Structure 1
Amino acid sequence: MTINTATGAKYYIGGSGPIDYSSDANAIDDFEALTWVEIGEVEDGGEYGDEAADVTFQSLSDGRVRHLKGARDAGVLALVFGDDPMDAGQIALKAAEQTKLDFNFKVEFEDAPQAGWSNSVDYFRAKVQSVRKQVGQGDNVIRRTANLGISTEILTVEPADLTP
């Protein structure tokens, strides 16, 4: 597989319905069955993915700090998009921010390795913590940044051959 640019990546919001995480396969099936609304005019998809907390212990006998891996955190994704008050995905993000619920998210990358193959997709659940407006200066496009506090692992579906 070759490397790719982020061009063509699409971000989607689904409802807040539950996902069966008893296995990755069950969760992916649940995610794939959802109805998705694309979040329009995304400029920057931010970064996300698991990182273990740094748990330290200071030993008295040798004066060394030991580093251990603690709880995993997929992070807070800062999604930046051009403000479009009529965009259905942006409207859904703003509504989700008004709740305390986890919402379902999908990120599809334009990375199919060849014709007849699917793109890779990431699925996760997150709370929409904020949807802030960025006005800037005269020649700036008015943007918004939605902070998505990811509360689950990221499930990735790799590209697959779609031919029978």
Structure 2
Amino acid sequence: MLPAVRTRDEVDLYLELHPCPRCGSMEAAWTATATTQESRPAYRYSGRCAECHERREFLFALPEGRTAPADAGPHPRSRFGGPQPSALLDPGEWLLVADWCGEAAEAAERQGDDAEAADLRWTAVAALEEVRKFLPEAGDAVPEAAFWSTRGRTVYQREPGRFRRRRIEVVRDFHLDHMPWSPA
């Protein structure tokens, strides 16, 4: 069973970051059902790959007292979860999401699609807020021990300075300053 999932948006992002192991497609029609695993509440996502029809399944733990992942919060700090760091995605994966969204936002802006650009920048800001949740309260940088995935460790090892508090805040503020408008 995977660690506890906080929100539906976090589940969706996790599923996008874990393509079909057989063909690499990210497309699948997912069915979500509440279940229990070892008397613990859980949520099962199952479906078939849209390309090769491989059966796929993920079983996520749920936080105590929850029967389903929560809806996304209205603020970037709460979109993917509450004040605690993610147990599904490490800070390197969150930074990668922020990078992808920032690049896609620039492409949307060049095409004149302000709504798409705003949504992508908002998602980049939310992902950067998730990186910030891994910062120690009095610390200046995300500790190396916070990275557990191969993808996340690779992002960290390429440029550990990107995980310094000030640098994360500068990139977040850049996205906020370049927002074509504030998404609803």
Bigger CA radius of gyration = 1
TM-score, scaled to structure 2: 0.26
Higher helix share: 2
TM-score, structure 1 normalization: 0.28
Which structure has the higher relative contact order (CA within 8 Å, separation 6+)? 1
More strand by share: 1
